[in-house]
Structure 1
Amino acid sequence: MTTTAMLRAFCDAVEQRNGKAFADLFTEDGLYHDVFYGAFEGREKIAAMVDDWFYRTATDFRWDMHDPVTDGTTLYARYTFSYRSTLPEAGGARAMFEGVAIMTLRDGKIVSYHEVANTAPAFVDLKFGPERIAKIVGKQGAELKARPEMTRHLV
């Protein structure tokens, strides 16, 4: 599968709420680290992340990858991501943010996925107040502090 085809299958699986197809893009012990929900390890948990976690408070996902660069082992792609929130305070608003996907590959499968994203526009779109934003950012900071290996790609 070409890089472009893999990235399209990746995005399509999320947009179609097809956790199995999404997880099948990963190795058995694959790791997906989501900017909002944290780490999911193994195909079963990765599939549940899409089917249950993503769609628990959102719908109508749109995900596009842009300008992929790979050496066959590491893949970087800029992305745009949006969804319609079902959280009560969001009032059905569409949230959008941009980021960079960082994937480690082996034998045509994703071993690990990490992302760096500017989530601030999504918080504004969702009408989150300062207290809610502080709680989210604090949780992410605590997770990174507890798991420093998650930041090794940022150095």
Structure 2
Amino acid sequence: MNTTAMLRAFCDAVEQRNGAAFASLFTEDGVYHDVFYGAFAGREKIAAMVDDWFYRTATNFRWDMHAPVSDGETLYARYTFSYRSTLPEAKGARAMFEGVAIMQLRDGKIAAYHEVANTAPGFVDMNFAPERIAKIAAKQGAALKARPEMKRHLAE
């Protein structure tokens, strides 16, 4: 499968709430690192992430990948992502995010997925109180600082 077809299948599976199809794009030991929910390792947990976690507080997903670039081992794509939030404070608002997907590939499958996303506009779309947005941002900042590749950046 070429990268364009893989990315479309990736997005379609989320939009169609098809965790099995989504997980099939990953290696058996694949890991999806979600910007909100953390890491999901293995196809079973990756499928559950889509079928349960994503749809727990949202509906009507839309996901598009733009301008993919790959050397056969790593795939980068800018994305736009949105959903209709079912959280009470959102009052049915569509939350929109943009980010970059970073995928490590092995044997034509995704071995690891990471993302960097601008989450603040989506939280504003969902009418989150500023204090809640600050708390989420602090948690995401702490998670970033805990990643081993950040060690050099945190050194005095």
When the two structures are superposed, what TM-score results if normalisation uses the length of structure 1?
0.93
Q: Secondary structure at the match of 2:72?
A: coil
Runs of 4+ in 1 over 3 A off after TM superposition: 149-152
Q: Which residue of 2 aligns with 1:63?
A: 63
Largest Rg, 1 or 2: 2
CA distance in 1, matches of 2:26, 2:126: 31
CA distance in 2, matches of 1:126, 1:45: 27
Q: Which runs of 5+ in 1 are unaligned?
A: none
Q: Which residue of 2 aligns with 1:47?
A: 47
Q: Which residue of 2 aligns with 1:13?
A: 13
CA RMSD of superposed structures (Å): 1.6
Q: Which residue of 2 aligns with 1:143?
A: 143
Q: Secondary structure at the match of 1:17?
A: coil
CA distance in 2, matches of 1:53, 1:20: 14
* Contact 1:144-1:150 within 8 A present in 2 as well: no
Q: Which residue of 2 aligns with 1:130?
A: 130
**1:43, distance to aligned residue in structure 2 (A):** 0.7
**1:139, distance to aligned residue in structure 2 (A):** 2.1
Superposed CA deviations along residues 14-55 of structure 1, whole A, max 9, x for unmatched, are 000000100110011101111111111111111111001000
* Contact 1:65-1:78 within 8 A present in 2 as well: yes
**1:120, distance to aligned residue in structure 2 (A):** 1.2
Q: Secondary structure at the match of 2:47?
A: helix
Q: Which residue of 1 aligns with 2:25?
A: 25
**1:151, distance to aligned residue in structure 2 (A):** 5.5
Percent of aligned pairs sharing the same letter: 83
When the two structures are superposed, what TM-score results if normalisation uses the length of structure 2?
0.92
